Amino acid sequence: MKYAHLSEDKQRSQTVMAHLSNTATLAADFAAQFNADEYGYAAGLIHDIGKYADRFQKRLNGGGAYEHSSAGAFELYKQNKNAAIILAYCIAGHHTGLPDCGGNQDISGEATFMGKINRRRQQACDYGEYKNDIDIDKNIPQKLPDLKAPCRDSFALSFFTRMIYSSLVDADFLDTEAFMNDADIRHSTGGPVDKLSDKLDTYLRKFENPSNEINRVRNDILNSCISRANDEIGMFRLTVPTGGGKTLSSAAFAMRHAVVHGMRRIIYVIPYISIIRQTVDVFSHVFGTENVLAHYSTVEYNDDSLETMDSKRLAAENWDAPIVVTTNVQFFESLYGSKSSKCRRIHNIANSVIILDEAQMLPRAFLKPCIRALTELCVNYRCSTVLCTATQPALDGFIPNDIRIRELYSDTQFLFDFFKRVTYRNIGKQSDETILSMLSQSEQVLCIVNSRAGAKKYFGELPSEDRYHLSTYMYPKHIASTLQTIKEQLKQNQTCRVISTSLIEAGVDISFKQVYREIAGVDSIIQAGGRCNREKQNDASESFVNVFESDRKLYGILSSAMLFTKRIIEKYGDFTSPEAIKYYFDLLYKSVGEKDELDANDIIKMLSGKNLAYDFRSADQAFNIIDSPTKQVFIPVDEESGAIAARLRAGERSRQLMQKTGGYSVSLYENQFDNLKSAGALEYWDYDKNLAILRDMSMYSEETGIDVPEHGTGIFA
């Protein structure tokens, strides 16, 4: 008898065939969501045939290392069929990640697909006993997947390979986890989507009789979205100005649409970690905390209650929940990942409604790969996507002509006219002294600047009373508490002058009498306008968003955005009109020169190779939305963070602990971090986690956060 796993106490065992059968059944169920159950079953059935080798059996009892994953890959490779090669990629990487293809000349030590094949080719087949249980030839699918036009090319096959890989590794993890825990297979947290729709119906009754005109229009938007739920699966737009209730309306469409089409979950994708908690709170209130999974880099799970919260931490590994709220970074880097930890969840994106909040925030350097992934999901994986924003980017040119993007509320011009709550004024180039003088004369004012350095400078020169600072030099919990204080000041009609970076622009429910915005992209300026006169308490002619230019230099995308905004201001009287916005994005998305600025790292090329020659690992390394390397500084400021710091100092290492550090950590550029380290301000240097503890607490201000030398572009929010 050959075994796949032994329990830690060596008292229980799982045979190889039992593990292969269980994994095959699970993987087939997962892949059935995109009509590829035979691929999922084959991957699960063959993935661990290397464990039939005597050397692996000895390893289970303390013997030397043995690479079992290349065995199944090699047997499939020998079949010389495209379907078998797709499966071979998945099996070769089911522990170490999807590899680059490499070439026939790769030596056996190479970490490429062909390196693994060549390494196995040089070894005797010591796992042949698998043939008593499994006929590989009979289990290989006889044809390539039935992919639909216009997504029926080499890239589409690489995307399909990753989805099968996801189905395999999640099934493998779940079956192994169940055996090791001597438990049943873990299933979805939360309830079915149709039951959540009932919760939504109950919540929406409060909006049936709007009390004023603005609520009536919000209700019209909501009802328009709900009325489109029967539309066929595909791509949608919701273009609604700030204050129009995009979050609830898009969620209502998604929930009803999911019920109509038998879809499994809603995935809400947000650009900023700083605003994700607000959305999670709204959804938790409507649908129940147990049905909402938040997944982002600083989320914390309370492992004290294993029956409820621990299941959420586990669900975050594979997004097995009815409502998932995550970030652009988590979503798209998972779709282009190669490691099992990233890819494990993506099969659960199939048969879902995806809402992209603030769709204009899709990263420009990766715009084409992002749009191609969304197109794949809609065409071949039964997903609907909602591009949700007040300033729709001009994406039509990047989506195949036969895919129509449908607007969920058709009269966008009416909405822009109705929700016009502010007057945008270009006040040109101004000295810092002039801007500070204007701010000092205002009782309730928000000033948004492009850099953390600029925010700190302006804050330091404002009158000291009733001033507030917001930037990511502050740890997330510090930002949240400061925002709460600001809201209380505004609610009580107290003096409140705020200097912030762009982190306040999206999703923060806050309203000032007037706003100053350092020149940036038109979309950012409009987002800033969403923090002014939010409920139309005052006439638009009395509520100003003042756009100014400072002497500070901008770099990269911010520099281009500013130049294009200047051209828009020169061309249009109302530079925030829908026509101006479209022209702005047309300029911003126009590729210049030989290099494609919208696929800056050639991601699509890496995954479009001939004869299934794909560079999965290289694409993963190149698809890095946050392109400036950063390191984390943990700030031990109170009892909770002090306890976390003590555990770190004691050498504790766990995923749960690292998640807890997120709420008290600040991201710094590498040489800012190194300067603090050289000055002796840091302790506990963890090279693996890029994390240190701030030793010198005089370097952290209760007003402005961490005090570090400036570096690089300074465009961190």
| Partners of 238 in beta bridges | 388
Q: 686 forms bridges with which residues in the sheet?
A: 691
Pairs from 73-79 (Cβ < 8 Å, separation ≥ 24): 73/113, 73/116, 73/117, 73/120, 74/116, 74/117, 74/120, 74/121, 75/46, 75/49, 75/136, 76/46, 76/136, 76/140, 77/117, 79/136, 79/137, 79/140
Three-state SS for 63-127 is: CCCCCCHHHHHHHHHCCCCHHHHHHHHHHHCCCCCCCECCCCCCCCCCCCHHHHHHHHHCCCCCC
Tell me whether domains 193-414 and 420-551 share a fold. Answer: yes
Q: Residue 306 above 50 pLDDT?
A: no
Angle at the Cα of 507 (from 504 to 513), degrees rounded to 5? 60
pLDDT at 490 over 90: yes
CA Rg, the chain, in Å?
A: 27
Q: What is the pTM of this model?
A: 0.88
- Residue 386 is predicted with a pLDDT of 97
> Residues of the chain with pLDDT > 70: what percent?
93
- Give the per-residue pLDDT at 688: 58
Sheet strands side by side (includes 265-270): 292-295, 323-327, 265-270, 352-357, 384-389, 235-239, 405-407
Please give the structure tokens belonging to residue 65: 């290392």
Given this model, what pLDDT does residue 287 score? 93
Q: The tokens of 409 are what? A: 């509320």
Q: What is the pLDDT of residues 261-275, one digit of tens each?
A: 999 999 999 987 767
Mean local confidence (pLDDT), 444-448:
97
Q: Which residue has the higher pLDDT, 658 or 644?
A: 644
**Do the Cβ atoms of 199 and 286 come closer than 8 Å?**
yes
Q: How does pLDDT run across 370-415, given as a tens digit for each residue? A: 999 999 999 999 999 999 988 878 787 888 888 989 999 999 889 9
The dotted CATH code for 193-414 is: 3.40.50.300
Lowest mean pLDDT across 82-86, 149-153, 447-451, 491-495:
149-153
For the chain, give every domain's residue range. Answer: 3-180, 193-414, 420-551, 630-706
Gap between the Cα atoms of 343 and 340, Å rounded: 5
Summary mean pLDDT of the chain = 89
Distances (CA, A) of 40 to 20, 69, 575, 578: 12, 16, 52, 46
Span 237-265, mean pLDDT? 93
pLDDT of residue 394: 78
How far is CA 202 from each of CA 71, 215, 286, 378, rounded to the nearest angstrom? 55, 18, 9, 30
Give me the mean pLDDT over the 327-335 stretch: 93
For residue 565, give the nearest of 518, 606, 516 by alpha carbon.
518
Is pLDDT at 710 greater than 60 in this prediction?
no
Q: Could you tell me the end-to-end alpha-carbon distance of the chain, in angstroms, rounded to an integer? A: 59
CA–CA separation, 164 and 149 (whole Å): 20
Mean pLDDT is lowest, of 61-65, 174-178, 666-670, for: 61-65
pLDDT band at 432 (very low <50, low <70, confident <90, very high): very high
Top pLDDT among 314 and 197 is at 197
Question: DSSP letter string over 320-356?
Answer: -SSEEEEEHHHHHHHHT--SHHHHTTGGGGTTEEEEE
Mean pLDDT of 44-73: 92
Distance between CA atoms of residues 690 and 674, nearest Å: 11
Q: Which residues contact 437 (CB under 8 A, 6 or more apart)?
A: none
Peptide bond between residue 192 and the one before it cis (omega within 30 degrees of 0): no
705 bridge partner residues: 701
Which pLDDT score, from 0 to 100, does residue 685 have?
67
Fold of domain 3-180: Hypothetical protein af1432 (1.10.3210)
Which range, of 207-221, 344-358, 389-403, averages the lowest pLDDT?
Answer: 389-403
| 316 vs 492: which has the higher pLDDT | 492
The DSSP code for 232 is P
Asked if the model's pLDDT at residue 301 lies above 50, the reply is: no
Q: What local confidence, expressed as pLDDT, does residue 303 receive?
A: 37
Flag whether pLDDT at 277 surpasses 80.
no
pLDDT for position 393: 81
Q: Class assignment of domain 420-551?
A: alpha beta
